[in-house]
Amino acid sequence: MIQRKRLRMEQSGKQHGKQQRKRRRLGRLAAALGLILSMALIGAMLSACNGSTNDAATTATTATTAATTTAAGADAATTQAAETTPAAAEAAATTAANAPPPQEEGFAEYDGVSNFVITEEPSTVTLFYPFGANGAPTPDMPVWQKSAELTNVTMENVANPSIADDAQSMSTMLASGTLPDIIWGYKENLRPLISQGAFMPLNDLIDQYAPNVKRFLSEYPDALASGTGPDGQLYYIGGTLGGEAGQALPSMAYFIRQDWLDKLGLPIPTTFQQFKDTLYAFRNDDPNSNGEKDEIPYLNRQSGIWGILPLFGAHNNTTYLGDDGQIHHEAITETYKEALRELAVWYKDGIIDPEIWTRGGQARQELFGNDTGGSTIDWVTSTGAINTNPDILAQVPDINLVGFLPPADVNGRVWMYYTREALHAYAWGISKDCADPVKVMRYMDFWFSEPGHLLQAFGIEGVDYTLVNGEPELTDEAKNKPESYPVYSRTIGIFEIGKEGSMESEITTMNDSSREAFELYLNSDCLVPPLPALTFTEDEDEARNRINEELGPYVDEYQQKIVLGAEDIDASWDQYVSGLESIGVNELTSIWNDAYQRYVATIG
């Protein structure tokens, strides 16, 4: 649990009001005393016209002393107002009432710690956040209503709700001619906007007006680097999923049928050879007890064999950061070649789903649901939920899918390549058309404050969570929503904006199988940090897009040919590598290395 100190917003507001009233009362008294002093001085000047210089000086000195004494006494009386008699208080009030009206004190500025009101009058901030598959924030959602109450600033989402595709929605917004105050998006999609001049630099604004963002960036240097353009200026601010800076978090895990292991008397595999032997036992020894050889030992609902490539020491089939501090491309390595060679044998022997490239997103539901699936590598929360899925339990009541740590690979290394960084993949920045960047900067800063964090991590206090010993805990009503808490959280306004997230709400809403797998990985030392979000120049982005447009399909096509047995790997490998080089794989890795070195320079 992340220890949090409870903020008493109502008490803070009352105290702020008392202080404002006290300052106004002092202002009125000061004005009255100023009048007394002025009258005394005028009297002294008139005496100087009618009498001696010494008499005038004496009169002025006496008047000044009297006024000063009166001021000191009035100040002391005001300080002790609560302890004085009613008559004295009434006299002070009468004096103040007869004084000239003072100039009203200026609006108390937002400080991000105890005062979260950003503007004196209600105002609006416009936001572009597309209405994609997971929805988008709207001002009527409880979290955003509460933020408007605390800041006096209402968010207006200007994205077109009828456009579900994020890229199309952004293109429509950019073509409109006027940019909103804040542009949100996937970092990869925001990078080109830097070179197009859509964002304003945030460095000075953060330094002067955003204490919470400033703290966050100092604690998470990766966040600073991921939002920094090639020119060294910061243009957008991301957020975290929870966890510490630089920490890799679980996303996917290995899952296996414990009920099948029990039937065959097998342990959880911990080495490459044990895992291989277990998969072959699943295929050959009829663990579903139906008398047919219909078991599919390894499946994946996301097309291809990428999931088990790390068992052979390979980093998928794309770019990765090597131990030498340089970025390489796996699809051109001997390690990748040997992985394809072995996986072609596994496919031929029926260890891999014969439809692994075509079965699609329902593979997990289908194959575990008909009791033919044996193991997979997939997202922790949704895969662990298989054990409590009523549709699957109706067909396979004894299913017991458990998460386990990756078996040691062919080189003896235990590592999980498919992880997520503490930072999430989205960010937001202030557009060049923003008319009041100070207000908008403070608004973005609010979401990194204590009340902003609690709103975006847990929802509304008393409804979605309560504070127990200073720690937020989701209410049973929130955790047990029929649509699931992750779905419910979006309906109340929790989204991946610039904020400090919390893993607590994620872990709390998992079922036992998912939670055990998540914590098993979280507490291990096998998680490999993913490549950080890098920024590229406009020329680099153009080159990357050009190369990847041809490189990706070329690599996927060759992979399928080898694994499906359509080509011999020894006879075709050299030609395949030549093709990669002619497409530009070496240029691509050079671009990635240039960007990575800029990232290293940014974080120091």
In Å, what is the CA distance from 468 to each residue of 3, 450, 451, 477?
A: 10, 16, 16, 16
| CATH number of the domain residue 372 falls in | 3.40.190.10
- Can you give the C-alpha Rg of the chain in angstroms? 33
CA 505: distance to chain centroid? 13
DSSP string, 371-402: T-EEEEEEEHHHHHGGGG-HHHHHH-TT--EE
In the predicted model, what is the mean pLDDT of residues 142-166?
A: 96
Give the Cα separation of 550 and 521 in Å (integer).
Answer: 36
Lowest mean pLDDT among 119-123, 275-279, 506-510, 511-515: 506-510
Report yes or no on 185 lying in a domain: yes
CB atoms within 10 A of CB 2: 13
On whether both 369 and 270 belong to a single domain, the answer is yes
Give the Cα separation of 384 and 400 in Å (integer).
Answer: 9
In Å, what is the CA distance from 549 to each residue of 330, 493, 584?
A: 17, 36, 11
Token pair of 516, please?
């055990």
Give the Cα separation of 536 and 497 in Å (integer).
Answer: 22
In terms of pLDDT, which residue wins out, 48 or 580?
580
* pLDDT, position 36: 35
Sign of the alpha-carbon dihedral angle for 301, 303, 304, 307 = negative
On whether both 137 and 202 belong to a single domain, the answer is yes
- DSSP-assigned beta bridge partners for residue 471: 468
Give me the percent of the chain exceeding a pLDDT of 90.
69
Among the candidates 366, 396, 417, a domain finishes at 417
Report yes or no on 581 lying in a domain: yes
DSSP string, 62-101: HHHHHHHHHHHHHHHHHHTGGGS-HHHHHHHHHHHHHSPP
426-449 burial, b at 16+ Cβ within 10 Å, e below that, comes to bbbbbbeebeebebbbbbbbbbbb
On whether both 408 and 485 belong to a single domain, the answer is no
On whether both 145 and 233 belong to a single domain, the answer is yes
Range of the domain at 161: 123-246+423-513
Among residues 511, 227, 225, 215, which one has the least CA distance to residue 389? 511
The pLDDT confidence band at residue 273, using thresholds 50, 70 and 90, is: very high
In Å, what is the CA distance from 454 to each residue of 158, 494, 568?
A: 25, 10, 57
Paired sense of beta strands 296-299 and 182-186, if any = unpaired
- 572 three-class SS: helix
Report yes or no on 529 lying in a domain: no
CA 432: distance to chain centroid? 23
Is the distance from CB of 185 to CB of 239 less than 8 angstroms? no
Report the domain count for the chain.
4
Among the candidates 37, 64, 98, a domain finishes at 98
Question: Is pLDDT above 80 for 143?
Answer: yes
478: Cα within 13 Å, side-chain hemisphere: 23
List the alpha helices (DSSP H) in 459-537. 476-479, 485-492, 503-508, 512-522
Query: Which element (helix H / strand E) includes 363?
Result: helix 363-369
The pLDDT confidence band at residue 72, using thresholds 50, 70 and 90, is: very low
On whether both 154 and 198 belong to a single domain, the answer is yes
In the predicted model, what is the mean pLDDT of residues 570-574?
A: 98
On whether both 212 and 162 belong to a single domain, the answer is yes
Give the Cα separation of 309 and 559 in Å (integer).
Answer: 12
Is the distance from CB of 517 to CB of 380 less than 8 angstroms? yes
Report yes or no on 2 lying in a domain: no
Three-point CA angle 164, 166, 172, nearest 5°: 90
pLDDT in tens, 525-538: 999 998 888 888 88
Query: Which element (helix H / strand E) includes 57?
Result: helix 53-79
Is the distance from CB of 125 to CB of 181 less than 8 angstroms? yes
570: Cα within 13 Å, side-chain hemisphere: 1
46: Cα within 13 Å, side-chain hemisphere: 7
Paired sense of beta strands 123-128 and 153-157, if any = parallel
Q: Helix 450-458 crosses helix 142-151 at what angle (to 10 degrees)? A: 170
On whether both 241 and 363 belong to a single domain, the answer is no
pLDDT in tens, 429-442: 999 999 999 999 99
* pLDDT, position 317: 85
Report yes or no on 531 lying in a domain: no
On whether both 396 and 297 belong to a single domain, the answer is yes
On whether both 413 and 463 belong to a single domain, the answer is no
Specify the amino acid at residue 177. G
pLDDT in tens, 120-133: 999 999 999 999 87
The pLDDT confidence band at residue 105, using thresholds 50, 70 and 90, is: low
Give the Cα separation of 112 and 92 in Å (integer).
Answer: 36
184: Cα within 13 Å, side-chain hemisphere: 25
Give the Cα separation of 120 and 127 in Å (integer).
Answer: 21
In Å, what is the CA distance from 486 to each residue of 241, 385, 418, 543?
A: 13, 13, 21, 38
Three-point CA angle 154, 160, 163, nearest 5°: 140
On whether both 373 and 461 belong to a single domain, the answer is no
Give the Cα separation of 597 and 157 in Å (integer).
Answer: 37
Give me the percent of the chain exceeding a pLDDT of 70.
82
The residue count for the chain:
604
Report yes or no on 493 lying in a domain: yes
Give the Cα separation of 304 and 488 in Å (integer).
Answer: 32
* pLDDT, position 106: 66
On whether both 463 and 587 belong to a single domain, the answer is no
Is the distance from CB of 303 to CB of 559 less than 8 angstroms? no
Among residues 454, 1, 436, 501, which one has the least CA distance to residue 182? 436
Question: Is pLDDT above 60 for 159?
Answer: yes
Question: Is pLDDT above 70 for 28?
Answer: no
* pLDDT, position 378: 96
Report yes or no on 108 lying in a domain: no
Residue with tokens 């199988």: 513
In Å, what is the CA distance from 105 to each residue of 74, 111, 243, 273, 385?
A: 20, 17, 43, 76, 58
Report yes or no on 113 lying in a domain: no
Among the candidates 417, 445, 468, a domain finishes at 417
Question: Is pLDDT above 90 for 39?
Answer: no
- 126 three-class SS: strand
In the predicted model, what is the mean pLDDT of residues 316-330?
A: 93
Q: What is the mean pLDDT of the chain?
A: 84
- DSSP-assigned beta bridge partners for residue 125: 155
On whether both 163 and 230 belong to a single domain, the answer is yes
